A and B are shown apart, each in its own frame.
Chain A
Amino acid sequence: MKIATILLIAAAIAALAAGLVMPGWLTFMLTLALAKGLVVLGLLLLMRAGLVSFGQGLYYCLGAYCVGIAGDYLQTQNALLLMLLAVVACVALAAIIGLLLCRYRDIFFAMFSMAFSMILYGILVKSTAFGSTDGFNVKPPLLFGWTPGGESSPMMAYGLAVVAVTGVGIFVWNYLRSPMGYAGEAIRENEIRVEYLGVSVRKVIYIKYLLAAAMAGLGGAITALAAGHIDPEMAYWTTSGEFVFIALMGGTGHAAGPVLGSIIFELLRTYAFQISPYTWQMILGTALLAIILYLPKGVWSLVERITKRIAA
């Protein structure tokens, strides 16, 4: 367990060092990918308990809007404060919605979660003060008044994203190995049995839902700080669908799956855009089909397969 943590931190340091030599577009794209990876990490917790949320966009968008609105009203560019605010707001909302959602399973959970994110979308579209569908701009982040490489550099947000993903990644990795983590899979397999074992299913799911909301909010906050612009599209159901797409692509078997999945997704999409501007959707679709057919447990299963082969 400790070795894994050390390795992850080493990887994070390597990623930060790589940031110094990477071209700007790659740094920026990886930042967005890591931010999405955070959301998908939360989704992974739910999916391992058998719950597919088509509404993580709700917290992704709420986190981003918290950063935008708080930045304006509090006149602050302090990245840590803004991210904290975003997470607190998301957990607070999830604490209320979660009470209702935790009673539902399967398609009902998926549809309900989607409905809530579409409510936020609807409200934001009507809010001309927040720019309706055009959204509004967010000031670049500072860390206690300081930013590496000047305000124009994407390094700041990248650094935040790497640190956040490392922290959350270590947490999720350990969580999945804890009794609470295993309880999720037990619930997916047989919920009634879990209840008879004396574990409160609702409590387990509720906590997972709160965690997922916090991670989605953090991802949204980082996206807002990195991109410098937010709009209600972040709460639209296609955004939530994208998270599910990434989760399927990366695989839910391991905490690294979502991060790997979102990096591959962003890379695939940007090169698809460049190579075939008219039919890029087809490339994405074909890639997902191929992954579902040949790697039903996601891209991460490939890594596991290689590890096993080397170990054997």
Chain B
Amino acid sequence: MFRSFAKKSTLTGLILVSAAAQPILAADDYKLGLVTFLSGGAAGPFGIPAQNAAKLVLETLNAGQLPAPYNTTGINGRTIVPVFMDEAGGATKQASEYRNLVERQGVDAVVGYISSGDCLAVPAVAEQLKTLTVLFDCGTPRVFEENDFKYVFRTGPTATMDNVAAAHYINETVEGLKSVSGINQNYSFGHESWADFNGSLNQLKAGVDVTTEQFPKIYAGQYGAEISALMVNSANVIHSSFWGGDMEAFLLQGSARGLFEDQTALLTTGESAMYRLSDQIPEGTILGGRGPFGVFAPDTALNRWFREAYTSEFGTPPTYPAYKMVQGILGLKLATEKAALNVNGQPSTEDVVSAFEYLEYEGPGGKVSMNRGKGHQATMEMVYGRYALQDGKPAVTDVRHYAAACVTPPEGMTSVSWIEKGMPDAQCD
């Protein structure tokens, strides 16, 4: 008897709690869910910089003080109220928390997700709840290659673009390129990065040997055995998509053992450690920023404002996750305001969706074109350069830009088959 009583009273209790938890908001506030890693290994290098950038931009947007054309208040005049959420717990947990954000906390839109697993799981729920969702950072091209989503957009480039551009870069700049080796983390991003890099390099230049491919565990922190393997199987270039603490540990341990003395490291996410490890990164190391972000960003009013404001607020220049977060929020703002031009009052989600599709705009990292995935996936140019100390300060030299059309598969083709077929229709300069 008490079992059923307990069950019933628990349920009633739940309903009461949920009713009480509905927050009271001013009618014209824009509630924005922001999901990034706030705990775990991805929080330090990605989650927190992205969250810091969001805080800075939302504050400035609400004051209407961003450089033109973003100098209007909030989103379409509505003050933005952020709701921060930790991305930890895995994809199922995040699908559940997404529902909570929308149905319990009543957010108007969600910007977030760093992990590719979350980016694959969350869109299905977003479609069910018909809520505008902007994926800002995750890399897997599968999101829009395997599905068509109506309410989901991704304002950042995919990981394929990083690695195809990396292959172009070493093909063009490394003289006598004969061999490459790879060290990538043993999870999706690591495997896909290496496969895309190696596949596209094979297409660009025949006869480049792979001396060794290492896949240590993610967050391993100790790479003694892998560094030995890389030293024994020496190659012209060592490709690595390591990020965060893993990349830093690999750089420190590799430098100490002289790994980079006659081999060049190619770090696809290297830009994010450029300032913190300015003394440890060997000069000549090839760095990528997963797009025209950070040190690779163009010299525009928006970028100058962002770098100065971010550096003075948080004590370090913004890295690419921070840039990508700003890009996501600005895309949402622009699409909403574009949609509002044609309607009286606030535009509906459907209006914003059609305004967002195939949108082109300038973010702090330059031009963003939503021209893949039926207008839902962004492309951007890709940039690589070599690390150099100029007057004792970290900088990049020998910077090369690759147009989006050069490193992105055409609409309707998956990245894997595009690379396999020899990257047809790529428009490179």
Contacts and interface: CB of A to CB of B under 8 A. Distances in A.
A268 to B, nearest CB: 12
Contact of A131 (B85, B95, B129, B142): B142
Contacts of A281: 39
Contacts of A194: none
Interface stretch (B53-61, B120-128, B318-326): B120-128
Interface in B39-94: 39, 84-86, 89-92
A26 B18 contact: yes
B15 A28 contact: no
Interface stretch (B97-105, B235-243, B250-258, B338-346): B97-105
Given A133-B187, A223-B92, A227-B91, A26 B8 contact: no
Interface of chain B, main secondary structure: helix
A110 interface: no
Interface in A27-45: 28-29, 32
Contacts, number: 148
Contacts of A270: 96-97, 100
A223 to B, nearest CB: 6
A270 B100 CA distance: 8
A267 interface: yes
Most buried by B among A25, A223, A273: A25
Given A133-B188, A270-B97, A307 B2 contact: yes
A15 B11 contact: yes
13 contacts: A18-B11, A22-B14, A25-B99, A26-B15, A29-B96, A29-B99, A133-B187, A135-B91, A230-B92, A273-B86, A274-B21, A274-B100, A277-B38
Nearest to A153: B128
A152 interface: yes
Interface string B1-22: 1111011101100110010010
B60 to A, nearest CB: 22
A14 interface: yes
A80 B408 CA distance: 42
A277 B89 CA distance: 12
B4 A134 contact: no
A277 B112 CA distance: 14
A301 B195 CA distance: 54
Contact of B117 (A4, A231, A260): A231
Interface stretch (A5-13, A91-99, A288-296): A5-13
Interface in B118-148: 120-121, 124-125, 127-129, 140, 142, 146-147
A76 B105 CA distance: 35
A21 to B, nearest CB: 7
Contacts of A269: 89
A4 B2 CA distance: 10
Given A126-B186, A270-B97, 18 more contacts: A7-B3, A11-B7, A14-B7, A18-B11, A18-B15, A125-B187, A132-B188, A134-B140, A135-B120, A227-B91, A229-B120, A233-B117, A260-B10, A273-B97, A274-B104, A277-B38, A277-B84, A278-B86
A112 interface: no
A256 B7 CA distance: 10
Nearest to A9: B4
A137 B39 contact: no
Contacts of B99: 24-25, 28-29
Contacts of A273: 85-86, 89, 97, 100
A278 B91 contact: no
A228 B3 contact: no
Contact of A14 (B8, B14, B97): B8
A25 B100 contact: yes
Given A25-B100, A32-B92, A125 B186 contact: yes
A269 B117 CA distance: 20
B116 interface: yes
Contacts of B205: none
B142 A15 contact: no
Contacts of A266: 96
B120 A256 contact: no
Contacts of A245: none
A267 to B, nearest CB: 7
A132 B191 CA distance: 8
A231 B118 CA distance: 10
A125 B186 CA distance: 7
A128 to B, nearest CB: 6
Contact of A22 (B15, B97, B120): B15
Interface in A253-282: 256, 260, 263, 266-267, 269-271, 273-274, 277-278, 280-281
Q: In which size bucket is the chain B interface?
A: 35 or more
Contacts of B10: 260, 263
Nearest to B115: A134
A136 B145 CA distance: 13
Contact of B95 (A18, A21, A228, A278): A228
A23 interface: yes
Contacts of B116: 134
A227 B103 contact: no
Interface in B397-417: none
A152 B18 CA distance: 21
Contact of B120 (A21, A28, A137): A137
Most buried by A among B7, B84, B86, B192: B7
Contacts of B6: 256, 260, 303
Contacts of B120: 131, 134-137, 229
Contacts of A74: none
A24 B2 CA distance: 27
A136 B116 CA distance: 11
Given A25-B103, A133-B188, A152-B128, A227 B4 contact: no
Interface in A229-252: 229-231, 233-234
B40 to A, nearest CB: 10
B184 to A, nearest CB: 12
A1 interface: no
Contacts of B2: 303, 306-307
A7 B90 contact: no
B101 to A, nearest CB: 9
Interface in A54-109: none
Contacts of A306: 2
A23 B86 contact: no
Given A26-B18, A152-B128, A278-B38, A135 B117 contact: yes
Contact of A227 (B21, B95, B192): B95
Contact of B86 (A21, A227, A280): A280
B78 to A, nearest CB: 22
Interface string A134-170: 1111000000000000001000000000000000000
Nearest to A35: B92
